[in-house]
Structure formats: structure tokens, C-alpha cells
Structure 1
Amino acid sequence: MKILILVTILFTIKMSNSSCYWNENCHYKQFSSKTPYEFVRGDIRDSVVMKPGCKTISLWGLVRHGKRNPGENFVYKMLDATLLKDYIKTSHEKGDGIMCAQDVDNLSNWIIDEDTFHNVHQIAKEGYEEMAGLGHRFSAVFKDLLISTDEKNYTLRSAYGHWLENSAKGFIQGIGNESLVIDKPHKTYDIIAPYESCNYYMKGVKQNPEIYKEPTKYQDMTEFLAVKEGIQKRTGINYTLTNENITSLYDLCRYTSSGTHKKLSPWCALFTTEDIKVLEYIGDLRHYYRNSYGTPVNKIFGRIPLTDLLETFIKAKNGKGNLFTIYFTHATMMDMVYTALGLFKDEVPLTAEFRNDTRKWRSSKSSAFASNLMVTLNRCIDGDETDYNVVFYLNERPLDLICNNGECSWREFEEILKPFVNTTLDFC
């Protein structure tokens, strides 16, 4: 009997060591809208769709800004949460927590990054790298378009915010064409973020507590309560962690992880894969109701930039349009455009009662840092025949939910976007 107990203890210890965060071979890296682009991107150089006899004559893109530092309110809460690493170390030394020794060491040796916590709401170094990488890869494929130096041939513009304007600068650096000029943001937010100047949206949706009812409710559900209990036991902290504590620890995990350098934060060791999936779902619920299908008005805002896409390509088709048009915006605008196109729509609305692991709406993939919707207009010549097609790309992969694996005939393209042409925001 004693031998059996000893074997059981040894087996338990072995199993515990085999699941330490520091030596796991595969981590779950989907952190809702704070997911580094490197974790979700493709590579346009490998995935570009180009038929024989075709040439791209115009490129249109909507790009979310690169990774940015958290805002002031989040920073204060995250800084408070960093104090917990000393509690975790002390608990481990007492034998109260169940984290692996190396994970505790890594957390104990973690040093605050001055840029992340002092330059609030600014683009992070990694965010600039994400943008530069994006520009570099697109220039490798569409060099003939992006080398233009005539301001009449292109549009580069961002919504308001230094992190957006610096994202555009990073993109230009990646292209390698320093002569490109970034237009100043429009005061009316026009097509890049029209909801920002809409009182109906800002007060009735974004600032409306009812919009966040489902994610708030989810924090009272069994799944989230299990996350809290698990972290409590794992860390051995001797006081009850609040929902705010959990959120701040999660923010430390995702804001201090790096995609470009392929390095996850030691703060992520506090969570299991299931924990991260639960926290990701809270982000999905927020995006779903604030920016997408959960609120009907959202799809109307998404039609505004899509109308610009259609008009831009009609002009290019007639020899009068831009060689390229790139707008830098927020995750909110990205979500609204997906909604207008009917993308990632689940048959059953997302709710707190049920988390579907096979759901289509995943903010980690569609609204990650630097996420982008790029569209190309291609002229195809076959003898005396001239035709046009349009290809949609999401995060540097053909968007297979539209037309034929992302490739539309001109007629299909017009049929999708023409209904949006007369969209108005009179309700604002």
C-alpha cells in the first residue's frame, strides 16, 4: 500500500512538471484584440492570387494600428498587479502555490518595461515592427504600385491618434519609399472612423452599460469562476482575487508578450490554456455587441469605407484612380466592415450562457493588432479581351469567405458593394 502511494505521488509530481508553462511546446496565443499580429498573419508573398495575363492596377487597404501600449487607467491597474509577483514567490517558498519553480523564477526575474508603462496609448516598438513588416511584404509583391512618388496617385491616411499616425510611418518605412506623404487625419473622421463623430453610437452604444451586459454576466458564470479559483490555487495568494485582478493579470500576460520576437510573458504562466480561452471569449463578447452583430447599427458604419473601396476601383478601372489607397484605423472599424460584409457570422448569437469553441466570431484572428483587409483590382488581358477581377485578403491570406476563395469577378464585386453606395449616417 505504501509503495502504491509513493508511486502515485511520484507520478503526480512528474505530471505536474511536464505541464509547466516554461517547457510547454505549444501555447495558446489568442488574446482577443491584444493578439500580436505575428501569431495570426499569413504572408502575402506566398499567398498572392495572380492569374496569367493579369496585373494589379490598384490596391486598397484598411489596416488596424500596430501593437500599442495600454491606456492610463489600464496601466495603473496593471502596475498594481505586478506587485503580486512577490506574493507568488513567497507563497511558493511556503509551499502554498502549485506553480512550477522555473515559472516562479521567470516571473520573479521579470522587469517592468519602461516604454509599455510610461508611454501610454502610444505605439509600442513591436507595433512599429509589425507595420514595417507589413509594408515590406506588400512592397515585395506590389512594388510597381507602391514606388509612386506622385501624391496624386495614392492616399495614405490614418484616423486621429499618435499610435495610428506612427503606424502609417512604420508601414512607409517597410515599403522603403520615404518620399511617401501621409495625409493629415480628417476632423470629421470621415470614412476611417465615422462612428467617432456619431453621438448616437458614442452614447447609445460605446458608453451604454447595456451593451456590455453579456461579458459582465459571463464573469458570474461557472467557466469564469473556475478561472479565478484556478489562479487562486496556482499562485497560493492568501486573499481573494477580484475580477479586476484577473483582468489586470491577463493584460500583463498579453501586453508583455511579443509576437515579432516569439516570446511569451512569464505572466502567462498564471493561466492554463482553458483560462486563456475563457478570457478570450470575454473579449469576443465585447467586440460582438459593441462593434458587430450584437448591435444592428454597426453594419451601417461598415458600409462607409466599403463604398470608398468600390468608388476607388471604379475610378482605377477607368484610368483615373489611385495606384494604392491605405487607411489606418481601429479594431472597431475593422469589426464593422466585417459585419457589413456578413463575415464571421454565427447562426446563434454569442451569449454568456454558452461559449462555442467552434464559433466564427474570433476577435483574436480578425481584430488582432495590425490586422488588415487588403483588396486588389487586377486587369486581365487575353488577346483582344480585357477583363477585371478583385481579390480580397485578410491578414495576408485570400479571404475565402468571399466569392471564389477571395477572388471575385468585377460583376460579383459590384453586386456585393453597390447596395452600400447610398448609405447615410443621418441617424447620428
Structure 2
Amino acid sequence: MSSHCHSLVPCLRLIYSKHRRSLIGSWKTDHIIPENPNIPAIAKYFTTTGRYEEVNPYLIEDILAVNRSMLQPPSAQCRQIHLTAIIRHGTRYPTTQSIKKMQKVYDLVRSRASGKESWLREIQTQWTMWYTEDMDGRLVQKGVNDLKHLSVRLSKLFPSLISEQKLRGGHIKFITSSKHRCVNSTLSFKAGLTELWDIKDREFDHAVNDALMRFPRWCTRFVQEDNHNLSAVEEDDKFMQGPEMRRVQEKIANRLRVPYSNITHDMAESAFDLCAFEFAIKAVNSPWCRLFDEDDAKVMEYASDLREFWKRGHGYNIKSKSSCILFHDVFCRLNKSASENKSGQQVTEAVTVQVGHASTLLPLLTLLGFFKDNDTLTSTNYANQTERSFRTSHMLPFAANLLLVLYDCGGGDLRLQPLLNEKPVTFPGLTDQQASMPLYRDVREHYRELLQGCDFETECQLFKQPADV
């Protein structure tokens, strides 16, 4: 996207006009994008620090492109009656902890590395450590744009739900975590709509609900047990000390011409973060990226996935169960919408936009059974996991989103379609002919045990005050 559109004040309408043709479905998600020298070759391995555009490459050419034909309801009479969108915040700065580690690897390269390669000279003489600790995970301008663009795209995908009339009528609700990056992402999502429709005469409220959108912090049992999650610690430590990671560290040391002992796995991860954040925030193919080839990036991705798997995914049952509160909240809202629709009333909450974190979305996806491979991710089976579905680079880039769309197809036939990052997915375990848009009653039956159980207080031993972590 050109630099003159970064302010996005009048630009959403300008872009919409310019790209109107693609907004009605001329793009396909498998559109082939030519190789771009400004995009690191390893960008698709950046895990939770990856750009949303790497998950949907067609957006690189047209950031507002949508393809409504992918929704594919079973009949033309199906109409959308409710949408729940659970969204991760947009692109952010690194956290203070990450920035401290980045400073260490930067200082090492400046003081100890030798060689005449142009990329190394660029780091040593031109690149300046510009990250400061007070940035601490705050939303960047790219993150503002992420949510503005997402809101416009969703308004094109679901025009009967995300409309000016619904917004003005109070039928679109906004809920957010209290963290600044989430609040600002929520404000950005709303701004995308008000700028698109040129609404200047009013503002729209949002609710802050940490118990719902930052539930891991309120789950006392998780907070207590997370510090004693030996499986996560052991698997992470073993992989970090294993042959794959050791080889990456040695290759980095060779490229910098420093002793092997100078490059720890923390150093390797920080250099990888520098490459990823420079690209995510500034859209530059940083010289830091030259420290890694594709094989190295795959190892770095697996190290991150392994950690997420054991801390927030299928390897750690308590963490997914901590999302019971969000799970029940979603289905309560779907039930209410279904009931209002059945009785002939207008659905009062046509759209719910809920903005949280990767640690909000991943446990919910896990609880619902998504991305569960036959083989468990471990420190010793890296070579066998090349085709794994549990890949955070695909699941959880900045602005990742889970969409649940409820349809009325007539005759009491309600259907529910899940989409992840604007692409249809299938509820695990449902094999109906309309698996991508199953009957809502079949979805409820499939998750019956969770709907009847999965009590947040029982699972988390919730106290009145959130844990201080």
C-alpha cells in the first residue's frame, strides 16, 4: 500500500473506489503473487509476529480484496443473522523483555562480528537500535491499519450485518481486553467503519472485559500451574539444546565470524525477532534476515510452535479449558440470536466484535478441536512434523480472527459457518455434507459435553481478584 494512504482518514473510501471490482469477489485465495524482493524469503515462518498478509497473500496487491463466493451457503435463501468475530490485536511493537534481548544481540554484532558482507556492514554502520523499552507491545500504525482494513473487508463480506444502519442502531457490539494494544485495535476497527461511511455525528461505545478477553490472567489454577508446567519447560529446553537449534546457532556464528559460544538460543531468537518485527512494522527486508536461511527459519518456527503447543495448545489441557468462559459466551450469544430469529424478532446483537490476544484465540481454537495433529509435537520429532497443522504462522498472525456466522436457511434450518482469517474452515469431527456450514443443532450436539460442562470457576478455581502475573 502506498505511503500516502497511511493516515487513512479519507483513504478507505478512496481505496474502496479504486478497487471496487475486487471487493465483489474477483480474487481467489490461491492467487499467485510474484516474488517480491522487499518481502523476506522466510516471512511465512514468523509465527505470532507474522503479517496478516502472509496468511492471505492476495492482500499484498489489494488490501481490501474479498471473495464472497467462498461463503457458499447451501441455498440462495440462506441469510446471515449473526456474526461473532474474535480478533487478535493488530501489529505491535516488541515487548520490553524482547527489546532487552534484542539489544544484546545488536551489541554483539556491532562489537564482535567481522566480515565484509554488505548486509553485515549495514547492521554495523547504518542500522540503529531504535526499539525502546517504553514501546512495550504497543500498537503501531501498521496495527491501526490492520484493523481498519479488516473492518472494511468484513463489511463487504457480510454487508447485511456490518452496515451503517446496524451500527447506528446499536446492533453491533464491541468488547475488548484492557491492554492498550487491544483497546486501540478496537478503536481502529470502529474507525474503519465510520470513515468508510463518513460518520462524523456520533461515536460508538465499547466494553472492556478482561475476564472474557484476558481469561488466562483470571484463571488462578492456570497461573499457578503454568509455573509448574514441567512438560512445557522440558520440551522447550530439550529442543533449545537439541541438534536442530544448535545447528542454527552455529550457522549464525559462522555468518558473523564469532565463536559458537557467543550465540545462545536466546540470541538466535532475538535476531529472528528483529527480522520479523522490522518487516511487520516497517515492511522492510531487514539485513537481520540474512542471518537465516529457510531451513533455519523452519527450526525457529518449530521452536515457537512447540512452546505454544505446550503452554496454550493441545499439550496443556488446563489452558484450553480456561477458555470455557469465552466458549460459553459465544454459544450463549448464538443461542439468543437463534431464539430471537425463530420468534420473528430482529436479532438485537447482529454483530459482536471481540478483541483480545493470541492467548485469547489459541486456547479457544484448541478447545474447539482445531489444528490437532495425530502426533504430539515434541522436542525429538521435528523431522516428522513438516506437514503439521499446528502452525502459528498460519493460525495466529497479527490481526488473526475467528469468525462464526449464523445463517437462517428457511424452515428452521439454522447453519453455522466458521472462518479463520477470512477463510472457511471445518469444525473438527463434523462430517456432514455441508461440513463447512453445518446445521447449528449438529454443532451444538458435537460440543454437547463442553456446553453442559466446562465451567470456568470449576476449571480455574476462580478467585475474586485476577492473579498478579
Fold equivalence (TM over 0.5): yes
Moved more, 195-204 or 309-318: 309-318
Shift of 1:198: 1.6
Q: Report matched runs for 1:10-49 at 5 Å.
A: 26-41=41-56, 44-46=66-68, 47-49=70-72
Matched, 1:367 2:383: no
1:203 is paired with a residue whose SS is helix
What corresponds to 2:204 in structure 1?
181
Q: Is the 8 A contact 1:22 1:102 kept in 2?
A: no
Residue number among 420, 424, 428 corresponding to 2:455 in the alignment: 424
Q: Secondary structure at the match of 1:52?
A: coil
Identity across matched positions, percent:
23
Task: Decide which structure has the larger Cα Rg and report it.
Answer: 1
Deviations 1:69-114 (A, max 9, x none): 11112112212322344357x6113xxxxxxx34335534654475
> Any idea what SS the aligned residue of 1:143 has?
coil
Q: Which amino acid aligns with 1:372?
A: N
Per the alignment, in what secondary structure is the counterpart of residue 115 of structure 2? helix
Uncovered stretches (5+) of structure 2, i.e. residues with no partner: 1-35, 58-64, 341-346, 462-469
1:411 to 441, 454, 457: 441
1:387 aligns with 2:413: yes
Q: Which residue in the other structure is 1:235 paired with?
A: 256
* Corresponding residue pairs, total: 394
Contact 1:306 1:417 in 2 (8 A): no
Cα distance 1:165–1:340, how it changes in 2: closer, same or farther (>3 A)? Answer: same
- 1:121 is aligned with what amino acid? G
Please say if 1:124 is aligned against 2:124.
no
User: How far apart in 2 are the matches of 1:262 and 1:49?
Assistant: 34
The worse-fitting range, judged by mean Cα deviation, of 265-274 and 209-218 is 209-218
- State the Cα distance separating 1:243 from its structure 2 match: 2.2
In structure 2, C-alpha distance between the alignment counterparts of 1:340 and 1:25, rounded to whole Å: 33
**Per-residue CA distance 1:95-145 (angstroms, 9 max, x = gap):** xxxxxx343355346544756764222012211111111111001222332
Change (3 A) 1:143 1:200: same
Determine the structure 1 residue equivalent to 2:110: 86
Q: Which runs of 5+ in 1 are unaligned?
A: 1-20, 94-100
Q: Distance in 2 between matches of 1:180 and 1:54?
A: 32
Q: 2:184 aligns with which of 137, 142, 166?
A: 166
Task: Note if contact 2:38-2:283 (Cα within 8 Å) is conserved in structure 1.
Answer: no
Name the counterpart of 1:8: none
Q: Aligned partners of 1:158, 1:38: CA distance in 2, in Å?
A: 23
Decide whether aligned partners of structure 1 residues 131 and 207 sit closer, same or farther in structure 2, where only a CA change above 3 A counts: farther
Q: Work out the CA distance in 2 between the residues paired with 1:242 and 1:56.
A: 52
Give the counterpart of 1:291 among 283, 305, 312: 312
Please report how far the alpha carbon of residue 329 of structure 1 lies from its aligned counterpart in structure 2 after TM superposition.
Answer: 1.1
The 1:138–1:335 alpha-carbon spacing in structure 2 relative to 1, beyond 3 Å, is same
Q: Which amino acid aligns with 1:156?
A: F
- Whole-Å separation in 1 of the counterparts to 2:227 and 2:192: 34
The 5 A counterparts of 1:20-419 are: 26-41=41-56, 44-46=66-68, 47-50=70-73, 51-87=75-111, 91-93=114-116, 101-108=117-124, 110-112=126-128, 114=130, 118-146=134-162, 147=164, 148-150=166-168, 152-176=170-194, 179=202, 181-186=204-209, 189-205=210-226, 208=229, 211-238=232-259, 240-258=262-280, 263-319=284-340, 320-355=347-382, 356-381=385-410, 385-402=411-428, 403=430, 404-419=434-449
Closer, same or farther: CA 224–378 of 1 in aligned 2, 3 Å? same
Q: Aligned letter for 1:389?
A: R
Which deviations, in whole Å up to 9, do the C-alpha atoms of 1:325-379 show, x marking residues without a partner? 1111111121111111111112221110111111121111112211110011112
| RMSD of aligned alpha carbons | 2.7
Partner of 2:465: none
CA distance in 1, matches of 2:238, 2:203: 48
3-state SS in 1 of match to 2:373: coil
Q: String of CA shifts for 1:190-235, please: whole Å, max 9, x gaps.
A: 3323221122111211575653221111011111100011111112
